[in-house]
Amino acid sequence: MDVGISNFQQAVVEASAKLPVLVDFWAPWCAPCRALTPVLEKLEREYTGRFKLVEVNVDENQELAEALQVRSIPAVFAFRDGKPLAHFLGALPESQVRAFIERALPSPFIEVMDRAERLIKEGRVDEAEKLLAEVPPNIDWDARLEALRAAVGFTRSGANEDELKAKLAAHPEDHEARLKLAQLYAGARRYREAMDQLLEIARRDKNWRDGEARRQLVTLFTLAAGEADLVSEYRRKLATALY
């Protein structure tokens, strides 16, 4: 697929949120480019949809080449989650290109967590829990794994919103009821309301249950990572409440 300045945002930046995109900077006069491109195309077919390959003719798209500081070609950039992850220069042997692609691909366990998150949103928490049980601990994804497991618990909370609100109206210091209300909101992905309740616990008694409100808020920050402004706002509020 040929890409230029007019469709780079959609074809590369936005597309890389769903799967890695390899951007091959080349030119018709470049002999090493003519050697490398067939290797990339072969591997794209072999990996059957696990990454997307696009090509940028630098003669026609000098602005793009300058933006990524391409000084020589061929140059191949791997984009993931909207950002360049890594790159290499020159017509590398197929084995090295394959190794580069493997490093650019997300771990299979990331894909398992993606599927589990979709199941949680659909209310299929038993299936999600089984998937999450397959994911081993790893520093690269432990925070997300913990957050998704918490989301399963939130969704299963089964609490009644009106009853919990009535309890809190009568006894605002009932942190247990407030925690259950926060979990109910979190299970429904009403993250702002959930964070408000947890923040109120932290303000009233930051040491309750050895900082349970803070721990739950940190978990919610991971679950709500796609809402960057919301997370930033409540990180600031939590810092103020604690310190």
Q: Which positions are annotated as active-site residues?
A: 30, 33
Provide the b/e sequence for 8-24 (b: ≥16 CB within 10 Å). Answer: beebbeebbeebbbbbb
119: number of CA atoms within 13 Å, CB side? 18
What lies within 8 Å, CB to CB, of 95 at 6+ separation is none
What is the amino acid identity at position 47? Y
Q: Omega before 106 cis (within 30°)? A: no
The DSSP symbol for 136 reads: P
> By the 8 A CB rule, do 154 and 184 touch?
yes
> By the 8 A CB rule, do 123 and 155 touch?
yes
DSSP 3-46: --TTTHIIIIIIGGGTS-EEEEEE-TT-HHHHHHHHHHHHHHHH
